[in-house]
Amino acid sequence: MSEEISVEVVYALPQKQEILSLKLRSGALVSEAIARSGILRDFPEIDLASAKVGIYGKQVKLDAVLRDKDRIEIYRPLIADPKEVRRKRAAEGKEVRNEAGDAEASST
């Protein structure tokens, strides 16, 4: 009999987090754990063809071999590009500083 490992499959929405624990045979793949967990049935919006997955925050492929006590995380797509959000915020900050500088120059 092959050794069993314990893993968790995790998926989080803004209002809800799902954590499913399961036992698999040693040498099981990330894709097998996700399929066996039933999470795809509970969250049909998950598209593994495009979704990114990771183990403890480190992105992995679906064919990665699992180890005992791994936590498989299924990531949702980003709503906004973080780089673009920072760029926009920086540009708005420059505008506020420039307006404040213009107001000081005109009052003196």
pLDDT digit string (tens) for the chain, length 108 residues: 469 999 999 999 888 899 999 999 999 999 999 999 999 999 999 988 889 999 999 999 999 999 999 999 999 877 767 777 788 888 877 666 666 566 555 555
Domain positions in the chain are 4-75, 79-108
Q: Which of 60, 79, 80 is nearest to 71 (CA)?
A: 60
Query: Does the predicted TM-score (pTM) go above 0.85?
Result: no
Q: Which of 67, 66, 24, 32 is nearest to 48 (CA)?
A: 32
Output Rg (C-alpha) for the chain, integer angstroms.
Answer: 22
The topology (CATH level 3) of 4-75 is Ubiquitin-like (UB roll) (3.10.20)
Strand order in the sheet with 52-55: 16-25, 4-13, 71-75, 52-55, 58-60
